[in-house]
């Protein structure tokens, strides 16, 4: 078995001691009968002599309540087979105190661990050398599990990998036992993950679970469809597109009503009794439409409710008449992996007639299961479910079996049943991987004192150096944070594999004291040698064009239509093409070129790129080098040799497009294919930026391919690829993590959970009630001067004012998704012109400058939104006002500054007073050194009919106002300080009448045959 790091014992002392530099006098190290104490003016740490555990941490005289849980250990190791090792006190750790460090050693028949603790003036470092003797080690946590008082928490800032976001600050409510603290009742959210334990108990085997497939499958009538639905209704489900990725396993469904090529989508088992256990093995959405004009969601409801009516009728003969639906108090409006809201399910079930009951908590669930009158229990929360107090998942599974066998019926409405507990007591974020979370970084503010905990492992070595030097391999990690009976907790183990009888040296874990969040982010970057600014990554003239460019995700079936789109859109822009791929998008990787013949000839494709450059714009092709798929000739030739291998030798399948498998970047053929792709896009098809999908968003996996230097080198292979490619051409990536920052110029992502998009949106509000957290853009705090960020290249868009305001709040650039026909509509074209103007005036001004300040408040309207809000996942195309949003969509107010640019973003449904001005619902005000922009309801004492949308600022040597308004409406906007307006002239040359009041002006737009909003440019001349 190969380990993450093999270190020759004769070299261990040298490599271990070199990083440490003696700093005499930075701290006093003393001991008493029970403790070792490290003390200086900034902090004091008390360590147990018995097991090395942190007993107490103080900062500048204040006990901040942070320690290892319940006298816990300094470190915890976990084997690949889940066994845990730690110094348990039966065998004491030995220790040594030197002038500038403390060293703990633990040696047993199973593991040897040596930990060195080195204090510095404002931080203290922990590092370990680990040698397993019994089993391979899979995780190592240093320090061990930390706990703290929820009451001490003023904020904990971190990045959560999913739902995708820019960062957050958790408050004390996140860590508290909410059954006691919340007088209004529980706030139920997705809690502990139990995987398939309850389901396995019910069936004796697991269900099907395809985690990478969200593509539609066609539903077809199952063998029992006609019997249960009738002939007419059963025909309506034929061909309906559904997501069948959590289907019954073979033999589990006795009754098959809705079948698919991926397994039984809707059916039931009687579990050997009188009732039925029904479940829906996936989801059904509002799109696409089916042949009869209905949508898949309506068809699915009709199918399910017809079956439930039969269940209800049969139950009446057994004396059962109550239809019960789980609807907890202060719970999510929509479940995890659900395709319908809880309210929709309740309305549908009420319409069935009979006795209707809503189950509000765990005790009521137990009562309903025990009640002989209960005919049906419905769980509308998808992969989440209540679990009776005191029951384990297997016990819950047995309880459901007894209930069904006794004559009751149960319906699971979506996804993999009982995967998560719908928890009303403690919140937690469990086993979050780093990457794809941005960084192993946590900033605590406890009792007014501040502390950052993070790992230090600079990637300052050559790409792929780990092939021959196993110390040059990045170590991933994961974290869990939340509340339990002992208070708040944090676990952050390194996630790697060390083979027995080999020694691995951990990255440094640094506890840094006394710095605020911004200072701590800067220290993290400095300590990890994240150094390249945006200005270091592209020549100045091209960089200025990049800053001024909207990202246009262009969709066309052929290059002729791409030319039409290019002609219509404002420039410069970033023109991002993905339809060109030789065998089609997500087909035939890694063979992307020459372009698909039906799309363009090589000559036409080159001519398009030339035309992009001639317009002053930038060309960015889509690529994906993380997996290969048929029918590409490279995959056919190289085959399995290039794939990531599991321990049993099997590959990891990918279900996108034509399907394929994950590749290992350590294989020569993979690097060769990737190098050729970069060559093609630098020489044959000269690009300005190359977009690499998934390479910066993937998480750690074990890779046993012989080409990989260690099973834990998968992430290092990806990082080395990006770092090498970034030296040849500027790169863009899906999402980003800190190790790739120096090599990427444009990050696309970290937005699906916070900015609603038409296609891909998984709201963070489904997981966390607003009362326990606030936005904090941790990624921007670390990278805003180094990388430009926008939404996901294929799934994001700014199609309305709300998306625009969210993007500005988080320091994003603008993005739009377009095709020729879309821009035939004047409304859509004018919206993109407005988008372009905001990009060129506002976003360009803050691109490449550091985050200066940030604040977020949910409740400036005096209106608390308890529980979890639902936001629509589908936003109609072509609408650019707030009217498509539900009135209760409220993300509060963000006030932020990026360098000299100050932004106030109103992310709620009511106007917001901002000094003398009134920001429109879902509007903003942005101010820079040479511009003011806004979407406001009133400027000064002048009220808008709808809203005033404007940018006013420098235009070359002159001054201009860009007004996004309907014809014949009046717009009020501010004038630059000291600017005395003499004349206002449209681009057509027509002069407009105006009225000035103090330092703002009102003018009326001219008439037009189009009634939509138009972007008017008005040149302003002073006296």
The answer to whether the beta carbons of residues 521 and 544 sit under 8 Å apart is no
Q: List residues bridging with 619 in a β-sheet.
A: 575
**For the chain, percent of residues with pLDDT exceeding 90:** 75
pLDDT tens readout for residues 66-86: 999 877 899 999 987 667 888
186 or 482, which is more confident:
482
pLDDT of residue 795: 87
Residue 189 pLDDT > 80, yes or no?
Answer: no
pLDDT of residue 324: 97
**Any idea which residue has 């007894």 for tokens?**
402
pLDDT tens readout for residues 938-971: 998 888 878 999 999 999 989 999 999 999 999 9
Return the beta strands (E) in 749-865 as ranges. 773-775, 788-790, 815-818, 851-857
User: Cα torsion for 160, 127, 446, 424, to the nearest 10°?
Assistant: 40
Q: Which two tokens stand for residue 867?
A: 């529980």
pLDDT tens readout for residues 293-332: 568 899 999 999 999 999 999 999 999 999 999 998 778 8
Could you tell me the end-to-end alpha-carbon distance of the chain, in angstroms, rounded to an integer?
Answer: 81
**What mean pLDDT do residues 605-613 have?**
98
pLDDT tens readout for residues 322-377: 999 999 877 888 888 889 989 999 999 999 988 999 999 899 999 999 999 999 99
Closest among 793, 797, 776 to 732, alpha carbons compared: 793
Instruction: Measure Cα distances from 287 to 345, 380, 738, 876, 1020 in Å.
Output: 19, 20, 37, 12, 47
pLDDT of residue 546: 98
- Phi and psi dihedrals of 118, rounded to 5? -120, 115
* CA 254/CA 240 separation, integer angstroms: 22
Return the beta strands (E) in 708-754 as ranges. 731-734, 746-748
Instruction: Measure Cα distances from 748 to 473, 694, 700 in Å.
Output: 26, 10, 20
The count of other CB atoms within 10 Å of the CB of residue 78 is: 18
User: Which DSSP symbol is given to 151?
Assistant: G
190 or 225, which is more confident:
225
- Of 524-538, 648-662, 776-790, the one with minimum mean pLDDT is 648-662
**What mean pLDDT do residues 260-274 have?**
95
Reported confidence tier of residue 291, pLDDT bands at 50, 70, 90:
low
Residue 648's contacts (CB-CB under 8 Å, 6 or more residues apart) are none
Helices (H), 231-341: 231-236, 296-316
Residue 872 pLDDT > 60, yes or no?
Answer: no
Residue 8 pLDDT > 60, yes or no?
Answer: no
* CA 33/CA 43 separation, integer angstroms: 21
Dump the DSSP string for 500-527.
Answer: TT--EEPPEEEEEES--HHHHHHHHHHH
β-strand 137-141 against 420-423: which pairing, if any?
Answer: unpaired
pLDDT of residue 999: 83
pLDDT of residue 863: 40
Dump the DSSP string for 319-365.
Answer: T--EEEEE--TT-BSB-BT-SSBHHHHHHHHHTT-SEEEEE-SHHHH
**What mean pLDDT do residues 76-104 have?**
82
Reported confidence tier of residue 178, pLDDT bands at 50, 70, 90:
confident
* CA 463/CA 472 separation, integer angstroms: 9
The answer to whether the beta carbons of residues 399 and 266 sit under 8 Å apart is no
pLDDT of residue 771: 84
Reported confidence tier of residue 92, pLDDT bands at 50, 70, 90:
low
pLDDT tens readout for residues 212-266: 555 578 899 999 999 999 999 999 999 888 889 999 999 999 999 999 999 999 9
Burial status of residue 460 (CB atoms within 10 A of its CB: 0-12, 13-18, 19 or more): exposed
Residue 434 pLDDT > 90, yes or no?
Answer: yes
**What mean pLDDT do residues 669-685 have?**
97
* CA 146/CA 532 separation, integer angstroms: 34
Reported confidence tier of residue 580, pLDDT bands at 50, 70, 90:
very high
Domains and CATH numbers, the chain: 192-422 (no CATH), 890-1021 (2.60.40.1180)
> Alpha-carbon torsion 770, 771, 772, 774, what sign?
positive
Reported confidence tier of residue 19, pLDDT bands at 50, 70, 90:
very low
**Any idea which residue has 């190289």 for tokens?**
638
Reported confidence tier of residue 585, pLDDT bands at 50, 70, 90:
very high
pLDDT of residue 669: 98
Residue 878 pLDDT > 50, yes or no?
Answer: no
β-strand 981-986 against 146-148: which pairing, if any?
Answer: unpaired
Residue 940's contacts (CB-CB under 8 Å, 6 or more residues apart) are 916, 917, 972, 997, 998, 1000
pLDDT of residue 180: 54
* CA 120/CA 511 separation, integer angstroms: 10
- Phi and psi dihedrals of 129, rounded to 5? -110, 125
User: Based on C-alpha coordinates, what's the Rg of the chain?
Assistant: 30
* CA 435/CA 700 separation, integer angstroms: 7
Closest among 123, 130, 100, 103 to 49, alpha carbons compared: 103
Residue 323's contacts (CB-CB under 8 Å, 6 or more residues apart) are 308, 312, 349, 352, 354, 355, 356, 357, 375, 376, 378
**What mean pLDDT do residues 410-416 have?**
96
pLDDT of residue 945: 79
Q: Which two tokens stand for residue 411?
A: 């319906």
pLDDT of residue 292: 55
Residue 147's contacts (CB-CB under 8 Å, 6 or more residues apart) are 66, 67, 68, 69, 70, 72, 486, 487, 488, 489, 490
- Of 3-7, 627-631, 828-832, 1014-1018, the one with minimum mean pLDDT is 3-7
pLDDT of residue 940: 85
**What mean pLDDT do residues 422-446 have?**
92
The count of other CB atoms within 10 Å of the CB of residue 503 is: 21
The count of other CB atoms within 10 Å of the CB of residue 680 is: 18
The count of other CB atoms within 10 Å of the CB of residue 472 is: 20
* CA 991/CA 196 separation, integer angstroms: 70
* CA 934/CA 927 separation, integer angstroms: 9
Element (H, E) at 679: helix 668-679
**What mean pLDDT do residues 109-114 have?**
92
The answer to whether the beta carbons of residues 286 and 413 sit under 8 Å apart is no
The average confidence (pLDDT) of the chain is: 89
Residue 184 pLDDT > 70, yes or no?
Answer: no
The count of other CB atoms within 10 Å of the CB of residue 120 is: 17
Residue 379's contacts (CB-CB under 8 Å, 6 or more residues apart) are 326, 385, 386, 410, 411, 412, 413, 417
Residue 485 pLDDT > 70, yes or no?
Answer: yes
* CA 497/CA 511 separation, integer angstroms: 25
């Amino acid at each position: 078995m190969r380990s993450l790091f093999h270190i020759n014992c004769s070299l261990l002392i040298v490599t271990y001691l070199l990083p440490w530099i003696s700093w005499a006098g930075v701290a006093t190290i003393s001991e008493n009968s029970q403790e070792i104490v490290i003390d200086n003016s900034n902090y004091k740490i008390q360590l147990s002599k018995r097991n090395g555990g942190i007993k107490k941490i103080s900062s500048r005289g204040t006990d901040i309540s942070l320690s290892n849980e319940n006298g816990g250990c300094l470190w915890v190791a976990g084997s690949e087979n889940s066994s845990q090792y730690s110094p348990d006190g039966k065998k004491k750790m030995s220790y040594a105190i030197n002038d500038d460090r403390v060293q703990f050693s633990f040696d047993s028949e199973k593991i040897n661990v040596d930990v060195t603790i080195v204090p510095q003036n404002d931080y203290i470092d922990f590092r370990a050398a680990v040698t397993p003797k019994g089993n391979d080690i899979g995780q190592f946590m240093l320090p061990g599990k930390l706990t703290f008082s929820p009451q001490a928490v003023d904020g904990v800032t971190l990045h959560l990998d999913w739902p995708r976001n820019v960062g957050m600050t958790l408050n004390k409510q996140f860590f508290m036992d909410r059954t006691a603290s919340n007088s209004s009742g529980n706030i139920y959210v997705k809690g502990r993950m139990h995987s398939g334990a309850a389901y396995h108990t019910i069936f004796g085997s697991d269900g099907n679970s395809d985690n990478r497939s969200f593509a539609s499958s066609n539903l077809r009538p199952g063998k029992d469809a006609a019997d249960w639905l009738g002939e007419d209704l059963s025909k309506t489900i034929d061909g309906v597109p559904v997501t069948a990725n959590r289907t019954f396993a073979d033999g589990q469904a006795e009754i098959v009503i809705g079948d698919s090529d991926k397994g039984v989508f809707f059916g039931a088992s009687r579990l050997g009794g009188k009732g039925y256990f029904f479940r829906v093995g996936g989801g059904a959405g509002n799109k696409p439409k089916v042949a009869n004009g209905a949508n898949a969601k309506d068809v699915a409801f009709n199918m399910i409710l017809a079956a439930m009516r039969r269940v209800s009728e049969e139950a009446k003969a057994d004396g059962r008449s109550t239809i019960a639906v789980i609807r907890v108090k202060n719970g999510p409006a929509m479940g995890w992996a659900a395709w319908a809201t809880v309210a929709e399910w309740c309305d549908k079930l009420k319409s069935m007639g009979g006795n209707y009951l809503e189950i509000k908590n765990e005790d009521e669930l137990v009562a309903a299961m025990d009640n002989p009158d209960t005919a049906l229990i419905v769980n509308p929360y998808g992969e989440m479910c209540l679990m009776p107090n005191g029951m384990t998942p297997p016990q819950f599974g047995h309880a459901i079996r007894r209930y069904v066998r006794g004559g009751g019926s149960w319906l699971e409405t979506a996804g993999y049943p009982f995967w998560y507990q719908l928890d009303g007591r403690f919140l937690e974020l469990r086993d979050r991987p780093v990457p794809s979370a941005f960084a192993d970084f946590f900033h605590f503010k406890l009792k007014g004192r501040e502390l950052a905990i993070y790992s230090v492992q600079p990637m300052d070595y050559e790409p792929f150096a780990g092939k021959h030097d196993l110390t040059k391999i990045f170590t991933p990690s994961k974290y869990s944070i939340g509340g339990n009976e002992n208070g708040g907790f944090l676990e952050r183990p390194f996630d790697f594999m060390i083979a027995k009888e080999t020694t691995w040296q951990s990255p440094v874990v640094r506890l840094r004291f006394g710095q605020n969040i911004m200072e701590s982010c800067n220290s993290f970057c400095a300590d990890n040698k994240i150094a390249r600014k945006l200005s270091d990554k592209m020549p100045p003239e091209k960089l200025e064009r990049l800053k001024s460019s909207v990202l246009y995700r262009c969709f066309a079936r052929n290059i002729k239509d791409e030319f039409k789109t290019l002609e219509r859109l404002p420039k410069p822009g970033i023109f991002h093409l993905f339809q060109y791929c030789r065998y089609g998008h997500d087909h035939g990787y890694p063979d992307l070129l020459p372009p698909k013949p039906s799309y363009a000839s090589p000559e036409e494709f080159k001519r398009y790129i030339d035309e992009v450059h001639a317009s002053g714009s930038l060309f960015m092709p889509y690529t994906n080098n993380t997996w290969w798929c048929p029918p590409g000739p490279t995959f056919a030739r190289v085959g399995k040799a290039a794939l990531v291998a599991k321990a049993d030798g099997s590959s990891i399948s990918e279900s996108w497009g034509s399907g394929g498998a994950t590749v290992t970047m350590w294989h020569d053929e993979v690097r060769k294919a990737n190098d050729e792709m970069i060559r093609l896009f630098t020489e044959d098809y000269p690009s300005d930026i190359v977009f690499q999908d998934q390479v910066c968003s993937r998480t750690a996996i074990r890779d046993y391919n012989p080409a990989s230097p260690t099973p834990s080198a998968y992430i290092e292979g990806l990082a080395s690829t990006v770092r090498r490619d970034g030296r040849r051409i500027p790169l863009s990536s899906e999402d980003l993590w800190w190790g790739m920052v120096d090599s990427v110029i444009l990050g696309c992502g970290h937005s699906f959970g916070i900015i609603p998009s038409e296609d891909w949106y998984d709201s963070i509000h489904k997981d966390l009630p607003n009362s326990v957290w606030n936005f904090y853009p941790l990624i921007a705090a670390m990278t805003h001067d180094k990388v430009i960020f926008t939404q996901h290249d294929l799934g994001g868009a700014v199609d309305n004012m709300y998306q625009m305001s969210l993007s500005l709040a988080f320091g994003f650039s603008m993005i739009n998704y377009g095709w020729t026909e879309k821009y035939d509509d004047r409304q859509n074209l004018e919206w993109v012109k407005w988008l372009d103007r905001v990009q060129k005036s506002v976003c360009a001004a803050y691109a490449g400058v550091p985050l200066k300040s940030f604040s977020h408040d949910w409740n400036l309207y005096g209106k608390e939104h308890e529980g979890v809000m639902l936001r629509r996942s589908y936003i109609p195309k072509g609408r650019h006002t707030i009217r498509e949003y539900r009135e209760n969509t409220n993300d509060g107010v963000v006030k932020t500054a990026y360098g000299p640019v100050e932004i106030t973003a109103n992310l709620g449904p009511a106007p917001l007073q901002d000094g003398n001005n009134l920001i429109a619902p879902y509007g903003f005000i942005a101010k820079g050194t040479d511009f003011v922009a806004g979407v406001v309801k009133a400027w000064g004492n002048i009220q808008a009919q709808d809203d005033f949308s404007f940018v006013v600022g420098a235009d070359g040597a002159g001054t201009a106002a860009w007004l996004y308004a309907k014809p014949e409406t009046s717009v009020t906007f501010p004038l630059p300080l000291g600017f005395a307006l003499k004349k206002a002239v449209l681009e057509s040359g027509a002069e407009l009448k105006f009225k000035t009041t103090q330092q703002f002006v009102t003018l009326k737009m001219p008439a037009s045959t189009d009634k939509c909003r138009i972007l008017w440019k008005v040149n302003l001349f002073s006296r």
